[in-house]
Amino acid sequence: MAQKLDDTKLLFRAVIMGPPGSGKGTISERIARGFGLQHLSSGDFLRENIASNTEAGVLAKTYIEKGLLVPDHVMTRLLLPRLEEMTCHSWLLDGFPRTLAQAEALNSSCELDLVISLNIPLETLKERLSHRWIHQASGRVYNMCFNPPRVQGVDDITGEPLIQQDDDKPEALVARLRHYKDVAKPVIDVYKAKGILHTFSDTDTDRIWPYISSLLSAKIPTDIADAQRASTH
Ligand SMILES: Nc1ncnc2c1ncn2[C@@H]1O[C@H](COP(=O)(O)OP(=O)(O)OP(=O)(O)O)[C@@H](O)[C@H]1O
Ligand SMILES: Nc1nc2c(ncn2[C@H]2C[C@H](O)[C@@H](COP(=O)(O)OP(=O)(O)O)O2)c(=O)[nH]1
């Protein structure tokens, strides 16, 4: 159940998990908009730290550039203080935890209400990522079929060129998806054992979304959603 801080404030904490391309970013945006949860993306947070040259950002960059996960102690040192600042907010974490060690660290710092796991067929992931283009500075994501930019090849907001990440290219994908499975399995098992895991399987985000939306409507009391929407707008 949502954690009660005082007589008036209820908080809701959720995690969204899934392999690269499963729609975490797309669905997180819809949840943030529809239910007022603050969307915290580990990738965006790392990019902000890299852009502002923080000590952790400089260190993280050396791993990301090699296509490696950032070490657990760096991630937890970055993310947990950020979550501790959010004591008055309901949030949705995207991209963290990715490993068992990260899940254990998160577990000792807060209690989660819900974990959404996206289980999308491999062929669909390959197809989607081969069409994914991003605006590198902001992390804004486009798909040339699903949500294309207004002008082909350029970011809607800045007009800067879009790029395709090397690890979204077909030759890197299969290894990346296999690696995700190996690392995520024990994390998923932990949340399953806690009884907070909800798994969604389909080839289309638009078909999954109504189920996620009704789950959240049932789990998030209306007064939390209203209060969160009011505080984020
Ligand atoms: N929880 C984490 N633990 C370790 N490294 C992380 C974590 N989150 C992000 N990273 C690092 O930052 C990079 C960018 O993360 P981001 O989530 O934006 O993209 P991604 O790995 O391409 O995944 P996805 O396609 O699922 O969004 C990752 O490739 C990884 O190196
Ligand atoms: N064709 C198609 N593309 C989709 C669908 N849902 C999301 N996408 C696109 C948006 C992105 O370009 C790409 C991956 O989605 P994302 O939200 O970035 O996923 P994730 O890597 O954060 O998990 O796929 C979908 O349902 N169909």
CB-ligand 1 contact for 26 (6 Å cutoff): no
pLDDT at res. 142: 92
Domain residue limits at 219? 3-232
pLDDT at res. 170: 74
pTM: 0.87
Strands 132-135 and 3-4: unpaired
d(CA 109, CA 142): 34
Residue set of the binding site: 21-26, 42, 47, 68-70, 95-98, 102, 132, 141-142, 176, 205
Mean pLDDT over residues 45-67, rounded? 90
Total domains, the chain: 1
The CATH number of the domain holding residue 110 is 3.40.50.300
Peptide bond into 97 cis (omega under 30): yes
Give the position, in ligand 1's atom list, of the atom nearest the Cα of 139: 18
Decide if pLDDT at 226 tops 70: no
Mean pLDDT over residues 19-38, rounded? 94
d(CA 207, CA 121): 14
CB-ligand 2 contact for 144 (6 Å cutoff): no
Residue set of the binding site for a ribonucleoside 5'-triphosphate: 21-26, 132, 141-142, 205
Mean pLDDT over residues 76-94, rounded? 92
